[in-house]
Amino acid sequence: MAVWALATVPMTVMAILLAVPFLGRRRAFFTMGPLFARGMAWFCHIPFTLQGWEQMPEDIRDGRQPVIFMSNHESLMDPPYLIAALPVPAVYLAKQELKHMPFIGWACWAAGVIFIDRGDRERSIRSIHDAALQIRGGKSVVIFPEGTRTRTGQLLPFKKGGFALALDAGVPIVPMASVGGFQTLPPDGLKFKPGNYILRVGAPVHPSDHTDRDSLLKEVQGRIEFLVAEARKGL
pTM to 2 decimals?
0.92
pLDDT at 151 (0 to 100): 92
User: Residue 149: how many CA atoms within 13 Å on its side-chain side?
Assistant: 15
Signed CA dihedral, 69, 52, 107, 26: sign only: negative
Question: Which helix (H) or strand (E) element contains residue 50?
Answer: strand 48-51
Bridge partners, residue 91, by sequence: 141
pLDDT at 234 (0 to 100): 81
- Give φ, ψ of 119 to 5 degrees: -60, -40
Per-10-residue mean pLDDT, the chain, length 235 = 76 94 94 88 88 96 96 92 93 85 90 82 81 94 93 93 93 97 84 90 96 95 97 87
pLDDT at 61 (0 to 100): 96
For residue 168, what is the domain's CATH number?
Answer: 3.40.1130.10
| Count of domains forming the chain | 1
